Chain A
Amino acid sequence: MIDVKELLRELREEPYEKIVIRAPHSGKVEFVASEPGVRVVGPGGTWKEVPGTLLARLEREQVKRPIHAPQKGEVMSLGDVRNGQFVQAGQELMTIRHFLTKEEVIARILRRSLSLFLAPEKGKYYFFPEVDIKIKTKGSQTVHVEDGMELFILSRMKRETSVRYTGPGGIIYAVYFETNDSVDRDAPLIGVCPESQLGQIQEVVSRIQSEWEERD
């Protein structure tokens, strides 16, 4: 069983994600963001086509390759490397601190505490009629699922077939798909948690929603 409170305490102590930037290959490094505390942004644009902040350039065989920030945050510390020094592939250049948002914190907690059931193939998913009625009337968290239970109907290209739930037993904490929307293969359909942890998870999520302070 996962200790959700302990997880939350860890997150409060370190409310950020550390991203270590390493040299992709050997070469002479030239820092652009050369001091801790410099604010950086990740890739932008509709298709993430605009690269993030330029952190450094790595020169090998007269080719300078830019190294961009993969996430929004600030430069936390520089590696043990001087400007203009030759580095080996994989050597640490700097660490970026990305401050977690409410959504990211909740996603982390749920990822650790829930068991996700993924779509076995692309198509439209529906709950079995009796489950569907229960979810609509009393909410998904009243539905108990067991391994091997017939839970979904998959509909694709005029074909309908039943899909059995596989995984640990528990109650459906979250439903991640909408009726009539096509779901891609391997996208999560439901998140299941043990009945005993339901109250705890709900409490932590509501506390995060109300108390978590986001840092830009």
Chain B
Amino acid sequence: MDIEKRIQELRDRLKYILDIFGPDENANVAMLEAKLGEYVAREPGLPKQEAIRQLETLEELFRFLEKKLERELTPMNKVRIVRHPQRICLKDILENVYDNYTEIGGQDDYSIDPSMLIARAYITRRRGKKVHNQAVMVIGQEKGHGQEFRNGGSVKPWGNAKALHYMKVAETENIPIHTYIFTPGSYPIEDYPGAAQQIAKNLYEMAGLKVPIVAVISEGGSGGAEAIGLADTRIMMSHGYYSVISPEGAAAIEGRLRGGQRADTKLIEHCAKQLKITADDNRANGYIDWKINEPELGARPEHYDFFRKLRKSVISSTDEIVLNVSGLRLFRSIALKRHKGADVYVRWSLNTRAKERLLWTRYMKFRRMAQHAYLDKRHWFNRGSEWTSELFSSLYSYFRYDLFGKQHKKVTELAEDVHAEMQVVVGRSTKLWNAITSRLSFGKGKKDVDKAGLTSLSVWDDGAQNSGKWQYVSPQAKLDRAVPCPNTAVHGCLDQWAPDLFGEWAGVCSFCGHHFPMEYQWYLHNIFDPGSIYELFTEIESTNPLKFEGFDLKLDEAKRKTGHKCGCMTFEARIEGTTVMVAMFMGAFRGGSVGAAEGEKFIRAMERARKKQLPFLSYVHGTAGIRIQEGVNGVIQMPRCTLAVRRYTEAGGLYLVLYDTNSYAGPVASFLGCSPYQFAVRSANIGFAGPGVIKETTGLDIPPNYHNAYQALSRGHIQGIWDRREIRGNLVQSLQTMGGRNLYYR
């Protein structure tokens, strides 16, 4: 009986190995298979003692070869490990890492989203005779060892909303948050609160959450991971992966596959290698703080030593975060730095000053990331002069807005109050006098009525629509051809002549109002005051940080075609005399995808706008998402840029987002979607994943207008839809009526 059990255990181990190494031929795996098969055939005829001896030899062989196979693991093997049903899951962690826990926000399938698990947990620490129970909010995706209702850890928008709710509860209760990332990616549907918009909200709130956050990554799939991944310390399990896209998704894009076609396994393997998704790669790139070593071939629920190690890691990480921002820390800090998991006691609640320091440390941590992933070819002299100019600008900003501005504001407010008080007293006493004088004047003071204004006809498109006279005319207007409207079948629109359509009518169908895509230059010339654009950070250039095969050529081609060094153009410009900072994402440059250079430019522009108290406009001419060829260098821009947005808006700025053409994925799910003022140009599409990806991942059929701006408006994702010809007027209105307290022109 004992022998049978041990044989079964070996069979299970072999099956696990076969699952991990997949279809690849491997001599060691083949040997294990053959040896086990031989033993099973031979065993009934053997004397018991001999059978046990041979079994022990076989078990030793398994141990030896598992160690050998561990060294051979490829990135794709690691992907298979984290996806395996035997992989540890969050419930195992709650059982083995924490001393006590209560699951909240749902139980198993009785939950608003069973793939998001929340628990109030306790860690009990004994110091001498004293026992400390330290409370933690544990939040993470639950894969549940293959339980179908968990959706494989793919969290729906309302699951992420639940996570955010309990993060805020943790903030109220002043307890740290431990997040565990076990997700292949977010569930890509747009139903309220919407996949992209909810991830953006989570990132925005996490950027300002005043409690320590520790994130542990096992399977970090892009946006889904970021929804709970913006943390003060990011730990990664050695066999986990953290990536911008699944290797299969990357292979489908690289192989230009459509309509659910499967990519070749070799291409998938190749993409997994190129994307640099393993813990070592991410450690080398600086996107995780450290990795926890797992047992051979990955941690499974029976590996209790691993849980002990994980417990030490999360405790010491939380201690470190708290000590870094607390007052008294000298010896404990040294002890923790010298030895991870050192036996020290740290109280995890923070005081007000420590909270402020925590937020600043978090901001700087992400601000320093991805510096190697873009090119900055400025000469040292230019760098020096720009640094000096920045310094002067900061000093000016301090004197102008902080020192003088605050006093000025106080005086103005006082004057307003005094004036209002005076009005009450003076108004009453002059009321009678005014009544007498107005009777005595016998209508002398009546103003002349503008008769012409009342009697002549008004022109409907005068002013806002520029009477069809535009500063920039699209090259599409030079073609002598008729253009059919895509809504002909519905609205019966007639074909329109290209010079009319793209010239005078600004690319707007005169029958149904459909907006044909226009070049970004049209907006530059027709929205902002002529000659007011002053481009910034032009030296920052996109590069190929992962040395992704063939990407250098594609990048060079994009640079040559557009004349820009990356897909984001940052500039200061004026609209009716008001200076605005603008970050424009150009669809023409690699589909408007966002990489390290684009993120860096965006953050610098945000910082400049904060210092100069300028309103900030993100004009998205088009973005396909995060640039997959840059891997995590791209995806890390989601938290980085969102932190910059949070810092800017908290400083009292106005952050406006205007979507045009198509805007999808990562950028919408972070620094664009977190704006409280998002608008779309008519006929724009906004969403998280395209219809093909939704169909592929969820199996749901998507209606043809699923991502249309009007759908986004009715779901509450955006706040309005603008006609292209009225953008300038609408922007002027927004600048005057929206935003925070610290705008220079207010």
Hey, what's the 0/1 contact readout for A60-77 against B, CB within 8 Å counting as 1? 111101000000000000
Query: Is the beta-carbon distance between B482 and A62 smaller than 8 angstroms?
Result: yes
Which of A45, A46, A47, A65 is within 8 Å of B484, CB to CB?
A: A65
Which of B488, B495, B497, B703 is within 8 Å of A47, CB to CB?
A: B703
- Interface residues, chain B, with chain A CB atoms under 8 Å away: 481-484, 488, 495, 497, 701, 703-704
- Interface residues, chain A, with chain B CB atoms under 8 Å away: 25, 45-47, 49, 60-63, 65
Q: In the complex the two chains form, what is the Cα distance from A9 to B323 in whole Å?
A: 93
With a CB–CB cut-off of 8 A, which chain B residues contact A25? 495
Query: Is the beta-carbon distance between B703 and A61 smaller than 8 angstroms?
Result: no
Query: Is the beta-carbon distance between A61 and B704 smaller than 8 angstroms?
Result: no
24 A-B residue pairings within 8 Å (CB atoms) = A25-B495, A45-B701, A46-B701, A46-B703, A47-B701, A47-B703, A47-B704, A49-B703, A49-B704, A60-B482, A60-B495, A61-B481, A61-B482, A61-B495, A61-B497, A62-B481, A62-B482, A63-B481, A63-B482, A63-B483, A63-B484, A63-B495, A65-B484, A65-B488
The residue of chain A having its C-beta at the shortest distance from the C-beta of B703 within the complex is A47
Q: In the complex the two chains form, what is the Cα distance from A61 to B704 in whole Å?
A: 28
With a CB–CB cut-off of 8 A, which chain B residues contact A60? 482, 495
Looking at the assembled complex, report how far the CB atom of B247 sits from the nearest CB atom of chain A, in whole angstroms. 31
Q: In the complex the two chains form, what is the Cα distance from A45 to B701 in whole Å?
A: 9
With a CB–CB cut-off of 8 A, which chain A residues contact B701? 45-47
With a CB–CB cut-off of 8 A, which chain A residues contact B497? 61
SS class, residues of chain A in contact with chain B: loop
Q: In the complex the two chains form, what is the Cα distance from A65 to B481 in whole Å?
A: 14
Looking at the assembled complex, report how far the CB atom of B516 sits from the nearest CB atom of chain A, in whole angstroms. 13
Q: In the complex the two chains form, what is the Cα distance from A85 to B481 in whole Å?
A: 20
Looking at the assembled complex, report how far the CB atom of A202 sits from the nearest CB atom of chain B, in whole angstroms. 39
Q: In the complex the two chains form, what is the Cα distance from A62 to B481 in whole Å?
A: 6
SS class, residues of chain B in contact with chain A: loop
Q: Which 6 A-B pairs have the closest CB atoms?
A: A61-B482, A49-B704, A62-B481, A46-B701, A47-B703, A63-B482
With a CB–CB cut-off of 8 A, which chain A residues contact B481? 61-63
With a CB–CB cut-off of 8 A, which chain A residues contact B704? 47, 49
Looking at the assembled complex, report how far the CB atom of B511 sits from the nearest CB atom of chain A, in whole angstroms. 14
With a CB–CB cut-off of 8 A, which chain B residues contact A47? 701, 703-704
Q: In the complex the two chains form, what is the Cα distance from A84 to B484 in whole Å?
A: 21
Q: In the complex the two chains form, what is the Cα distance from A71 to B703 in whole Å?
A: 21
The residue of chain A having its C-beta at the shortest distance from the C-beta of B701 within the complex is A46
With a CB–CB cut-off of 8 A, which chain A residues contact B482? 60-63
The residue of chain B having its C-beta at the shortest distance from the C-beta of A45 within the complex is B701
Looking at the assembled complex, report how far the CB atom of B466 sits from the nearest CB atom of chain A, in whole angstroms. 27
Q: In the complex the two chains form, what is the Cα distance from A194 to B704 in whole Å?
A: 45
Looking at the assembled complex, report how far the CB atom of A50 sits from the nearest CB atom of chain B, in whole angstroms. 9
Looking at the assembled complex, report how far the CB atom of B662 sits from the nearest CB atom of chain A, in whole angstroms. 18
Q: In the complex the two chains form, what is the Cα distance from A174 to B483 in whole Å?
A: 49
Q: In the complex the two chains form, what is the Cα distance from A60 to B484 in whole Å?
A: 10
Looking at the assembled complex, report how far the CB atom of B575 sits from the nearest CB atom of chain A, in whole angstroms. 37
12 additional contacts (CB under 8 A) given A25-B495, A63-B481, A65-B488: A45-B701, A46-B701, A46-B703, A47-B701, A47-B703, A49-B704, A60-B482, A60-B495, A61-B481, A63-B483, A63-B495, A65-B484
With a CB–CB cut-off of 8 A, which chain B residues contact A61? 481-482, 495, 497
Looking at the assembled complex, report how far the CB atom of A14 sits from the nearest CB atom of chain B, in whole angstroms. 29
With a CB–CB cut-off of 8 A, which chain B residues contact A49? 703-704
Q: In the complex the two chains form, what is the Cα distance from A60 to B483 in whole Å?
A: 10
Q: In the complex the two chains form, what is the Cα distance from A61 to B500 in whole Å?
A: 14
With a CB–CB cut-off of 8 A, which chain B residues contact A63? 481-484, 495
Q: In the complex the two chains form, what is the Cα distance from A111 to B293 in whole Å?
A: 75
The residue of chain B having its C-beta at the shortest distance from the C-beta of A46 within the complex is B701
With a CB–CB cut-off of 8 A, which chain B residues contact A45? 701
Looking at the assembled complex, report how far the CB atom of B732 sits from the nearest CB atom of chain A, in whole angstroms. 38
With a CB–CB cut-off of 8 A, which chain B residues contact A65? 484, 488
Q: In the complex the two chains form, what is the Cα distance from A49 to B483 in whole Å?
A: 22
Q: In the complex the two chains form, what is the Cα distance from A62 to B482 in whole Å?
A: 7
The residue of chain B having its C-beta at the shortest distance from the C-beta of A62 within the complex is B481
With a CB–CB cut-off of 8 A, which chain A residues contact B488? 65
Looking at the assembled complex, report how far the CB atom of A66 sits from the nearest CB atom of chain B, in whole angstroms. 10
With a CB–CB cut-off of 8 A, which chain A residues contact B703? 46-47, 49
Q: In the complex the two chains form, what is the Cα distance from A25 to B484 in whole Å?
A: 12
Q: In the complex the two chains form, what is the Cα distance from A45 to B483 in whole Å?
A: 27
With a CB–CB cut-off of 8 A, which chain A residues contact B483? 63
Q: In the complex the two chains form, what is the Cα distance from A46 to B691 in whole Å?
A: 14
Q: In the complex the two chains form, what is the Cα distance from A49 to B702 in whole Å?
A: 10
Q: In the complex the two chains form, what is the Cα distance from A16 to B495 in whole Å?
A: 35
Looking at the assembled complex, report how far the CB atom of A58 sits from the nearest CB atom of chain B, in whole angstroms. 11
Looking at the assembled complex, report how far the CB atom of A25 sits from the nearest CB atom of chain B, in whole angstroms. 8
Looking at the assembled complex, report how far the CB atom of A166 sits from the nearest CB atom of chain B, in whole angstroms. 33
With a CB–CB cut-off of 8 A, which chain A residues contact B484? 63, 65
Q: In the complex the two chains form, what is the Cα distance from A45 to B703 in whole Å?
A: 9
Looking at the assembled complex, report how far the CB atom of B467 sits from the nearest CB atom of chain A, in whole angstroms. 27
Looking at the assembled complex, report how far the CB atom of B307 sits from the nearest CB atom of chain A, in whole angstroms. 47
Q: In the complex the two chains form, what is the Cα distance from A61 to B496 in whole Å?
A: 10
Q: In the complex the two chains form, what is the Cα distance from A49 to B481 in whole Å?
A: 28
Q: In the complex the two chains form, what is the Cα distance from A63 to B497 in whole Å?
A: 11
Q: In the complex the two chains form, what is the Cα distance from A25 to B482 in whole Å?
A: 13
Looking at the assembled complex, report how far the CB atom of B246 sits from the nearest CB atom of chain A, in whole angstroms. 27
